[in-house]
Amino acid sequence: MSSGLKGREPYPAGGTSAIRRRDLLVAAGVGLTTVGLRPAVAASPDQLTWGVHVSLAPTWFEPAEASGIITPFMVLYALHDAMVKPMPDTALAPSLAESVNASEDGRTYEFVVREGARFHNGDPVTSADVKFSFERYRGIANALLKARVAAVDTPDARRVRFQLKEAWPDFLTFYATATGSGWVVPKAYLEKVGDDGFKKAPVGAGPYKFVSFTPGVELVLEAFDGYWRKKPAVKRLVFKVIPDEGTRLAALKLGEIDIAYSVRGELAEQLRKTPGLALKPAVVQAPFCLYFPDQWDEKSPWHDARVRKAASLAIDRKGTNEALTLGHSEITGNSIVPRGYDFYWQPPSPEYDPDKAKRLLAEAGFPRGFDAGFYFCDSSYANVGESVVDNLLGVGIRSKLRPIERAAFIKEFGEKKYKNIIQAGPGAFGNAATRIEAHLVKGGVFSYGSYPDIDTLYQQQAGEMDRARREALLFRIQELMVERTIYAPIWQLAFLNGIGSRVGEAGFGRIPLFPYTSPYEDITLKGT
């Protein structure tokens, strides 16, 4: 696989081009002759270039392998299309599906494939492709989906009918947002080239088609004029992997890239102050909070709700937000359910009142505070932890920051190995019910304990097909979570990015809670 860049590119990207002896001699001599070199600024008039913070992988071309992390959707939104997917107007927008109908008993969902929708190779999108894509799906929650879907029928070339074993109110959430099972790939092409061939030359029904890919280095896409929604405005997209955020910012300032993902803290401040560049925050589906795993232990100070409330009152969310994410994170007060998720309940705004926190601690029998032990957090967000540990110390809760490497943190958190305080940042797809299942109820992946009344409410909502009644139950659970300070909220994280002067519409924040630029067909260059 090689770079397929064309056009005016002062520094042809992709690491595979051969460097000749003459080039090396030039390179050796250039140190003496650098004066007078042309500025390193580059821009093709019909191309946008991204500086991506993570390594691009071919698995991201393959919806069947969606692992549950949001990053691959950065590419899926360009290359592929889904029957239903989150879009600017709605979280469940019909895309390749023209319509979606659920039966009254909640056991049948019928989709009608959009007329005229085509894959990049010209083949029409049919119900057989939809069925094939669902059946070959092997990514996250695959077992759950397959266990609940009894059959997928295709009465004709445009109609697909999902028969569920029993009513499942979250079917569309899982089919359209929490997994990659609703993203459609061409059956005939895949059967011809096989899985490996598909990863090397993917064909989708999205707004951009594949041109070339150098693993971990660069991905090049070209506009698909036959995209059903609209013809993309930018002809060519180039995604360059630039792991270091300082280098990404430098590349953005130089005009080598047009869009830089993930620029944080002081670098973001610098970006904001640079003329011609613009900071583009995107609030994502990750609310940060403190969890008190010892609250079910009667001997622990955290057993007393006043102590937990004091910890919450001690957190200077606004100050930390200003310092770390330039005020762009959202202080919602909901610890585990992000604003924008289905069945999200809006709590009262969380208070910052250290004096009240001290009074509550004194009432709880800790007038001089107490030693709270370790404060565990994902090392990627140790900066948030530093700030909160400092806030807690201000009211007398003395804790020691213990940043743990991300994967180990997630694993040990899930294995219930931590005590004292955990800084959590749940980021899984789904809705309020799926978050509550993982973080609040008995047996939840990250639940260290539970409250019987919450468990009962959760069970009641799981089979409730009436939306209003289900919403009331889920709201009540979230209300109880806040009342009891089971968690202390911090914020809903903002992912900070930058754009250069050539970008018209970047697409940041258009799809709620999506951290990347999308929909790609809406992205424009200035003046187009």
Partner 1 sequence: MARFISRRVAYCLLSLFLLSLTIFLFVRVTGDPAALLVEPGASAADIAAIHHRFGLDRPLWVQYGLFMWSLAHGDLGQSFYYQTPVLDLYLSRLPNSLVLASAAMVFSLLIGIPSGILAAVRVGRFWDSAGKVFALLGLSLPSFWVGLVLILLFSVYLRWLPSSGAGTPLHLIMPAFALGWYFAAAHMRLTRSSMLEVLGSEYIKLARLKGLPESLVIAKHAFKNALIPVITLAGINLVIMVNVAVVVETVFAWPGIGRLLYEGITFRDFPVVQGVVLLAGAMIVIVNLAIDILYAVIDPRIRLER
CB of 408 to partner 1, least distance (A): 5
CB of 161 to partner 1, least distance (A): 26
The reply to whether 240 sits near partner 1 by the rule CB under 8 A is: yes
Q: Are 438 and 68 in contact (CB under 8 A)?
A: no
CB of 407 to partner 1, least distance (A): 4
Burial 464-485 (b: 16+ CB within 10 A, else e): beeeeebbebbbbbbeebbeeb
Nearest to 221 by CA among 230, 212, 229: 212
Choice from 8, 318, 411, 417 touching partner 1 (CB under 8 A):
411
The reply to whether 443 sits near partner 1 by the rule CB under 8 A is: no
Contacts of residues 35-41 at CB distance under 8 Å and 24 or more positions apart, as own/partner, are 38/10, 39/254, 40/10, 40/11, 40/254, 40/256, 41/10, 41/254, 41/255, 41/256
Q: Are 180 and 65 in contact (CB under 8 A)?
A: yes
User: According to CB under 8 A, which residues from 450 to 509 bind partner 1?
Assistant: none
User: According to CB under 8 A, which residues from 285 to 344 bind partner 1?
Assistant: none
CB of 62 to partner 1, least distance (A): 8
Nearer to partner 1, 233 or 511 (CB): 511
Nearer to partner 1, 24 or 151 (CB): 24
Distances (CA, A) of 3 to 217, 347, 383: 9, 50, 38
Choice from 92, 382, 445, 465 touching partner 1 (CB under 8 A):
445
Choice from 223, 242, 315, 523 touching partner 1 (CB under 8 A):
242
Choice from 7, 8, 16, 45 touching partner 1 (CB under 8 A):
16
Nearer to partner 1, 279 or 428 (CB): 428
What distance in Å separates the CA atoms of residue 247 and residue 267, rounded to the nearest whole number? 10
Q: What is the CA radius of gyration of the chain?
A: 25
Nearer to partner 1, 140 or 283 (CB): 140
User: According to CB under 8 A, which residues from 139 to 168 bind partner 1?
Assistant: 140-144
Which stretch in 24-32, 99-107, 169-177, 492-500 sits in contact with partner 1 by CB under 8 A?
24-32
Nearest to 202 by CA among 370, 65, 37: 65
Q: Which are the contacts of 204, defined by CB distance < 8 A and separation ≥ 6? A: 61, 79, 80, 81, 119, 120, 184, 185, 186, 210
Burial 125-154 (b: 16+ CB within 10 A, else e): bbbebbbbbbebbebbbbeebeebbeebeb
Q: Are 76 and 62 in contact (CB under 8 A)?
A: no
Nearer to partner 1, 40 or 150 (CB): 40
CB of 30 to partner 1, least distance (A): 6
Nearer to partner 1, 24 or 150 (CB): 24
Nearest to 121 by CA among 46, 43, 49, 197: 197
Choice from 6, 7, 8, 27 touching partner 1 (CB under 8 A):
27
The reply to whether 32 sits near partner 1 by the rule CB under 8 A is: no
Which stretch in 8-16, 102-110, 157-165, 204-212 sits in contact with partner 1 by CB under 8 A?
8-16
Q: Burial-class residue 38 by CB neighbours within 10 Å (0-12, 13-18, 19+).
A: exposed
User: According to CB under 8 A, which residues from 355 to 384 bind partner 1?
Assistant: none
Q: Are 491 and 329 in contact (CB under 8 A)?
A: yes
Which stretch in 89-97, 136-144, 167-175, 389-397 sits in contact with partner 1 by CB under 8 A?
136-144
Which stretch in 109-117, 238-246, 392-400, 497-505 sits in contact with partner 1 by CB under 8 A?
238-246
CB of 436 to partner 1, least distance (A): 11
DSSP code of residue 166: S
User: According to CB under 8 A, which residues from 57 to 96 bind partner 1?
Assistant: 57-59, 67-70
Nearer to partner 1, 11 or 468 (CB): 11
What distance in Å separates the CA atoms of residue 215 and residue 1, rounded to the nearest whole number? 8
Which stretch in 181-189, 381-389, 425-433, 479-487 sits in contact with partner 1 by CB under 8 A?
425-433
Q: Which two tokens stand for residue 90?
A: 């709605």
The one-letter code for the residue type at 188 is A
Nearer to partner 1, 292 or 429 (CB): 429
Q: Are 429 and 443 in contact (CB under 8 A)?
A: no
Q: Which x/- pattern over 250-289 shows residues binding partner 1 (rule: CB under 8 A)?
A: xx-xx-x---------------------------------
CB of 197 to partner 1, least distance (A): 12
Q: Are 133 and 190 in contact (CB under 8 A)?
A: no
Count, residues near partner 1 per rule CB under 8 A: 73
CB of 333 to partner 1, least distance (A): 21
User: According to CB under 8 A, which residues from 190 to 229 bind partner 1?
Assistant: 196, 199, 214-217
CB of 17 to partner 1, least distance (A): 5
CB of 57 to partner 1, least distance (A): 5
What distance in Å separates the CA atoms of residue 106 and residue 167, rounded to the nearest whole number? 5
Packing angle of the helix pair 305-314, 382-395 (nearest 10 deg): 110
Choice from 6, 7, 8, 30 touching partner 1 (CB under 8 A):
30
Query: Hey, is 50 helix, strand or coil?
Result: strand
